[in-house]
Amino acid sequence: MRTPLIAGNWKMHKTIAEAVALTDALAVGLADLPANRQVVICPTFTALASVAARPRAGIAIGAQNVYPEVQGAYTGEIAPGMLKEIGCTYVIIGHSERRQLFGETDAMVARKAAAVLDAGMTPIVCVGETRAERESGQAENIVLGQVKAGLSALSNRLSEIVIAYEPVWAIGTGLTATSADAQAMHAAIRGELRSVGGNQADTVRIQYGGSVKPDNVDELMAQPDIDGALVGGAALVAESFIRIAKFVK
C-alpha cells in the first residue's frame, strides 16, 4: 500500500507571521487526520525555521527549491544540508515554474533530486506538459521523457522519491485534468518507472497537481495510481487545505 501524500506548495506567499498563523490553524484542523495519509507544507525559505518550530500535529515541512551542492560560492542559493538542519524532510524539485521561469533542465532536476536524497530528505520531482504539448498529442512523450531524464541515474533509489504530475495548463488556471485523464498519465508514469527501476515502481507515490480543490479531490484520489496531491492556491487557505487532506476515498 502506498500512503497518500498531500503537499501544500505556498510558493511566494505568506510573511513569517502569516505562515505561523496558517501553520497553527492547520495543526488544529489536522489533529485528527486519518493515519493512512501524510501531509507536508512547503513555506518560503524565510518562514521555514519559524514554521518548523511550531507544534504541527505530525505535519511535515518541505522546501520549494534547493541547489545541488553542499556549500560554495552560489549567491542566493541554499544547500540541502541547510534545509535538513531546519527540519525539512521534503523538497520540491523541478516545479514547472522553475522550469519555465528559471530555465531548469531535466539534468538540473536530476542533480537536485540526487542531492536531496544524499542529504536524507525526500524529493518531490515535478513533471508535466504544457497546453500546446497536450493539444499536439505530445503530452505523454514529454512527461515520460522528463521522468526518464530526471530519474534514470537514480534507478536504485526510486522507492525514496515522490513524483508530482502537474499539467502546466492546469496550474493556477482553474482548469483541472479529468480524473480519467489524470489516471491515464499516472499509469503511464508508473509504467515508465517500471522500465527504469522494475518493481520499485509499485512503491513510488505519484501525486497530482493542478488546481486541486475541495470539490475535486475526492474523485481524483479515488483513482488507483493517484497517491496524493501537490496543492497550490488552495493550500493557502486553512479550511480548503484541511478538507483536501481529509479527502474521502
Active-site positions?
Answer: 95, 166
* 87 phi/psi in degrees, rounded to 5: 125, 10
* 17 phi/psi in degrees, rounded to 5: -60, -45
Question: For 223, left (φ over 0), alpha (ψ -120 to 50), or beta?
Answer: beta
CA distance 211 to 213: 6
Torsion over CA of 235, 240, 246 and 249, rounded to 10 degrees? Answer: -100
* Sign, Cα dihedral of 221, 219, 140, 146: negative
Instruction: Identify the H or E element spanning 105.
Output: none
CA distance 122 to 114: 10
CA distance 144 to 164: 12
Q: CA angle 68-72-74, nearest 5°?
A: 70
Count Cβ atoms within 10 A of the Cβ of residue 126 and give its class: 0-12 exposed, 13-18 middle, 19 or more buried: buried
